[in-house]
Structure 1
Amino acid sequence: MNFPTLVYHEIRKKTEFNPENKSSIDVKQDYDDILPSPLFVTLEQFEEQMKYLHQHQFHTLTLEEVKGFYYEGKDIPKKSILITFDDCYQSMKKYAYPVLKEYGFHAVSFVVSSWLHDEKKEFNPDHSVCLTKDDLAEMADIFEYANHTDSFHQRTDLKTSIIMSTSDEEFAKDLDKCNEYVQVKDVFAYPFGLFNERNVNLLNDKGFKLAFTTQTGPNTIETETLRLKRNVVPYLMELDAFKNLVG
């Protein structure tokens, strides 16, 4: 038995999105970055993908079900899938939430807690704008929220994230800070999918049960629980490719 895990970041209508334009990130933390175009999907794609999952009776997993599968030997339903979103951008509420709600789907969002704005901002399709805590609370019937660091979603180069270069003590403090907000306190997603063995050991020492990478492929009972796989759904993925991805 296995389950694929999907990861989304941003959604735009076809008419709103030009992959040649750079989408700057707008977050509360003093942080300057660009969200790459491959991390976007069109609303039309997303609707088609979720419709396919619904029509083919996929079961959208909760994190408790995943933990039960690995730690208690519980079965998960056939055709199970875990849907995740990273970073909590506006399109998660504007576009993803209504579609997921229509189908009664469950999803997980990995939160960078220091990125959440204090005041709601008007939707801006030209920038990747972070949501507020109030926004997330309004979606809690569909989404559950887990740890994606408080302020360590940064990297020093393409292969090194801050969590890899900081001390265990500082990383632990950052995890605790994010856990003051998120409801699921023993599940983590590595920023940018970058991590080292020291990070894995620290998560284990702090009692984390699950941690997600961006390594592709399905998760099986043999997959290490702190190195779980996730498949980024890329821009303009054809439906046939999506079907192969989810099995």
Structure 2
Amino acid sequence: MGIISRMLHRYKGGDIFFVFLIAAWFLLQSSCATLDTSKKTPEPALEPVSKKPEPAIVEEKPITPLVFRSEDYVVKVLQDGDNLPVLAKRFLGDEKRAWVIEDANEDIAFEKDQVIVIPLKQENKGGLSLDGYQAVPVLVYHRFAETCESSLCTPISVFDQQMRYLKENGYRVISLGMLLDFLEYRQAVPKRSVVITIDDGYKSAYDIAYPILKGYGFSATLFIYTDFVGGGRIAINWDQLREMKSEGFEVGSHTLSHCDLAKKKEGEDDQAYVARIKKELLVSKQIIDKKLGQDTTYLAFPYGTYNQRVLRICDQAGYKVGFSVKRGGNPFFADPLALKRDQVLKRDIHSFIAMLETFHELSLR
């Protein structure tokens, strides 16, 4: 029986208390009916957070490698893989002409995205300007050793210091072939050009100078007198000369016996004198040509001396370049058979630097 039935049953018994009890029970049920503990008061809804629009991604346009091209110039943006020899081969046809690009872009770092200018045509072949003209210094060495007593001998440490100075200060060692093109107004040469020559034919040119020069990326021209080659332990031999030649070094004549071409010997008449000069110049050339398979056209006069008769015979023999030991550089208008050279006799670096003047100031305004 339910609670209400029991309460009513008691009410039938006349107990007024139960009337109040039933009324109280209904009131309690009524109040409980309005209180639902199983349901929580809903939380107020959160307003959605407005999101800011993300910035649009702008794609960078690729840099055009070739900006401009004409018959005279190329303007280019450097890309990965671009270097001076590669660019020289592509635009100038010869990787050895990388110096043309470097000279045209002085004080510019050759790195990716850098804009450079590449001249396509030869300009200013003689190195002339309103302030003066270009000159090419030619250095001459003789022999090398760890320690030296003679001024004609250069210590190893001194020679290395001098070559390092050339490398670190932007000098370019050029061949006599390039120098001849400059002298004949066919080709320009780098602004800081220098020529290195080594006289006589001592073996130390092979043992000492050769590896040092190669280490700096330089070459040289060896002027040998043929009677001395292969003549003993201090003399260079033909196999060593062939090896050096295969590495880009050049070989010229220093005559047959290293005699003074400008002086007659005691008791020598004019005819004998001329015959001796011809032999010294022609036979030495023939020997070198045969031994090295070349046409020898470069000559260094023993003791740096010559006269007009000697120069005429040189020309007749087929020599195109002749060197004295008169100090100074060589402009394009110098006589190719009477060029100047500086003997490297002093060992301090300041004396060496003084020989490297590549521009002769002279107002042409």
- TM-score class, shorter-chain normalisation, is 0.7 to 0.9
Whole-Å Cα distance in 2 between the matches of residues 52 and 9 of structure 1? 20
Root-mean-square deviation (Å):
2.3
> Which residue is 1:143 aligned to?
249
1:12-51 residue pairs with structure 2 within 5 A? 12-14=145-147, 17=148, 19=149, 37-51=150-164
Show structure 2 runs of 5+ residues with no match: 1-133, 358-365
Whole-Å Cα distance in 1 between the matches of residues 280 and 179 of structure 2? 25
> Which residue is 2:352 aligned to?
242
The 1:241–1:184 alpha-carbon spacing in structure 2 relative to 1, beyond 3 Å, is: farther
Shift of 1:110: 0.5
Q: Give the counterpart of 2:239 among 129, 134, 159.
A: 134
The 1:225–1:2 alpha-carbon spacing in structure 2 relative to 1, beyond 3 Å, is: same
Paired residues of 1:146 and 1:184 also in contact (CA < 8 A): no
Structure in which a larger fraction of residues adopt strand: 1
Paired residues of 2:196 and 2:220 also in contact (CA < 8 A): yes
Paired residues of 1:211 and 1:226 also in contact (CA < 8 A): yes
Moved over 6 A (4+): none
Show structure 1 runs of 5+ residues with no match: 20-36, 122-128
Structure ranking higher on relative contact order (CA contacts 8 Å, 6+ apart): 1
Q: Give the counterpart of 1:172 among 274, 278, 290.
A: 278
Shift of 1:101: 0.5
Three-state SS of the structure 1 residue aligned to 2:227 is: helix
Amino acid at match of 1:3: V
Q: Which has the larger radius of gyration?
A: 2
Paired residues of 1:154 and 1:161 also in contact (CA < 8 A): no
1:107-118 residue pairs with structure 2 within 5 A? 107-117=220-230
Q: TM-score of the superposition, structure 1-length normalised?
A: 0.80
Q: TM-score of the superposition, structure 2-length normalised?
A: 0.55
- Superposed CA deviations along residues 59-94 of structure 1, whole A, max 9, x for unmatched, are 111121111112243111110000000011011011
Percent of paired sites with the same residue: 29
> Which residue is 2:341 aligned to?
230
> Which residue is 1:204 aligned to?
315
